[in-house]
Chain A
Amino acid sequence: MTNPTRLHLPTPPARPGEAPDFSYVHLSPAGAVSRPDISARARDIGFLSTELVRVLDDAGRAVGPWHPHLDPADLQVGLRHMLLTRIFDDRMQRTQRAGKISFYIRSLGEEAVSVAQCMALRPGDMLFPSYRNQGLHIARGIPLVELMNQLLSNTRDMCKGRQLPVMYHSRPGNIFSISGNLATQFPQAVGWAMAAAIKREDHVAASWIGEGSSAEADFHHALLFASVYQAPVILNVVNNQWAISTFQGYAGGEQRSFAARGPGYGIAGIRVDGNDFLAVYAATQWAAERARTGSGPTLIEHVTYRAAAHSTSDDPARYRAKDDAEHWPLGDPVMRLKQHLIALGEWSDERHVALSAELDGLVAASWKEAVTHGTMTEGPRLNADLMFEDVFKEMPENLVRQRDLMRAERGAK
């Protein structure tokens, strides 16, 4: 007799050379999921974490109780931010391939998450992003030149040459510094929200991680502390199905939705169509209002697809079906919002082409300006003395000594 127990080894439905298969993704029809009152108790709204909140139907119409009824002008702003994010990403990807920057991470296919969420929050709300949330910076109006300066580690780099490209921050924009250590920002956002509650301010914190890094202990700490103190925080799991080469089954996604971990901790969990700008906006608005009115935290799972490689150092053709993204059942967030605006009579293919050209020009002009502040290889460079600053508020004696040694080393060359 052999033991019937076998190790379950999660396997993605399609590897290179196989036909894409997304039958494992549970979909609810657009408009089908009801919208509970913002003061509903987490234990009474468990269905939100297993169904899929969707507003845009296949014809581009907004339907159902989650329809946020946004002004068409706001939708156009959202489309502009998403398109700018995409064009910026595309240009920076090519710039990396040309050897002008060392590293880049695109958010292709996930633009609605950052842009719609940012627009549903207030400027005073604090954002704790991961490395694939550039749409937050764009939607908060951070000039592209500032982002490019960081990518170039040039003389205007906000990080003073200390961080890998894409690890932006903005104090005036209330966007926290990005860490290369995954998920650490999740419980920090909860702490920030706890402080807001202690100070009796009505600001909300929001944080983002991928479904892959939800495996870290920080995810547990964040949900636990958010639940215990009912902190005014929105915790977002961007389920783009892939953690580099590891599909979401290895983060535990095969057995239950990531959103369902919210109710497990006694906090509201919503599973939302992450490629549906309106659904993401509506879920965020609901969660923010909940947080602001003392009804506690929300975990939002954004069901989306990482249409690009993990980073410029990755080649997804080695581990997943080549045309996966084209078969993703929830489509493309930019195209879906465009289709909706056209259905409303508030947009056209011509305007879209014109906007693309305008944004192309903006990105190109921004790059032209950014490189005047230096690149990795040419032009002005940051002073290497900056290496020794900001380790502490005031530079201690041993660092002053080491800075002088470094200067002497450079002088001796």
Chain B
Amino acid sequence: MANMNMIQALNSAMDIMLGRDRSVVLMGEDIGYFGGVFRATEGLQRKYGEHRVLDTPIAEGGIVAAAIGMGINGLRPVAEIQFADYIYPGIDQIASELARIRYRSAGEFFAPVTIRTPCGGGIRGGQTHSQSPEAIFTHVSGLKVVMPSNPHDAKGLLITSIEDDDPVIFFEPKRLYNGPFDGDPNKPAVPWSTHPKGQVDEGYYTVPLGKADVVRSGADVTVITYGTMVFVALAAAAALKLDAEIIDLRSLVPLDVDTICTSVKKTGRCVVAHEATRFSGFGGEILAVVQEECFWDLEAPIQRVAGWDTPYPHAFEWEYFPGQERVKKALALVMEAQ
């Protein structure tokens, strides 16, 4: 075991997969010689060569398309899109091609591509370096969508994603790269070295897709969340001294409906939280599942916590971010309803 932040854990996952499987190649803007703007691929080109860790032109549509072509030709590409905000030029290749090749060719062709992309705000990125567009991809049949919240899961989920023969969009909440963040930007940053999930096995291991993690067991209320909001939810529930059950979904597609429903049936109360905008956000899907499967066990209307339905503004980042206050308000509402 070693102390790793999320960047180091992701780097370790790619290092291990490059070492284990000759067909794995990495590609993306600034990822080769330089090691990536967030350093996720640092040292990997030096170790595995320029033919396996490729710098690319600034063309997200081209990166995804080239990765698809490589995938069809037997490689297992891991493409980095430098910021999730930049993924849109690649959407046609992702939604119309990558997601559909197995289906339209009746399984004769497939492209086992993993697309890694840093998402979310809290780093003073303004509206073009802070978005959480995961819901767009969960709406496309044929894609798996993953978002880890800590180094241990990030490594295991990335290895699983790379080994998966289906395409995976792998979102990395960049505010969590260096430590668990409870939503309070005024407190000193907490490094992963102080957190159990920052203890990472240096070798090969996997974390399955479609299996949520019950981060904290509790009896009062279920908080269903993922990514940046996991530690915010933990802090908010603790501040209210609630015995909350906090569920980190880890993968949105496939979705672990069993863990969600078992918990809500137990607690009878449910809050759904994500950093992405609220309207048509993935939270709406979770609400629908809980309503359909757990309606008669609910003691109160389900509450939803999300970013406001605006772009992510540079100067008002913390007014936008769904921090502890917003989560606490939702928790209070579900707890007071009889």
Contact = CB atoms under 8 A, between A and B. Distances in A.
Interface of A: 126, 158-160, 162-163, 167, 169, 171, 176-177, 179, 181, 184, 186-196, 198-199, 205, 217-218, 220-222, 224-225, 228, 389-393, 396-398
B66 A198 contact: no
Query: Which interface residue of A176, A195, A196, A218 has the most chain B CB atoms within 10 A?
Result: A195
12 contacts: A159-B104, A176-B109, A184-B65, A186-B65, A191-B67, A198-B52, A198-B70, A222-B62, A224-B57, A225-B65, A228-B56, A390-B106
Contacts of B108: 158, 169, 171, 177
Nearest to A205: B69
Given A196-B73, A228-B57, A391-B141, A171 B65 contact: no
B204 interface: no
Interface in B180-214: 210
Contacts of A193: 69
B36 interface: no
B110 to A, nearest CB: 7
Contacts of B62: 187, 220-222, 224-225
B105 interface: yes
Contacts of B19: none
Contacts of B25: 198
A158 B108 CA distance: 9
Given A162-B104, A217-B61, A391-B141, A189 B210 contact: no
Contacts of A158: 105-106, 108
Given A193-B69, A225-B66, A391-B103, 12 more contacts: A171-B109, A181-B97, A184-B96, A187-B61, A187-B65, A188-B65, A188-B93, A191-B68, A191-B69, A195-B75, A196-B73, A393-B165
B164 to A, nearest CB: 8
A199 B73 CA distance: 10
Given A191-B67, A195-B75, A177 B104 contact: yes
Report the interface size class on chain B.
35 or more
Contacts of B73: 126, 191-192, 195-196, 199
Contacts of B70: 191-192, 194-195, 198
B281 interface: no
A392 B105 contact: no
Nearest 9 pairs between A and B by C-beta? A191-B69, A221-B62, A187-B65, A191-B66, A195-B73, A192-B69, A171-B108, A177-B105, A188-B69
A181 B92 contact: yes
Contacts of B72: 126, 176, 188, 191-192
A169 B105 contact: yes
B257 interface: yes
Contacts of A163: 104
A224 to B, nearest CB: 6
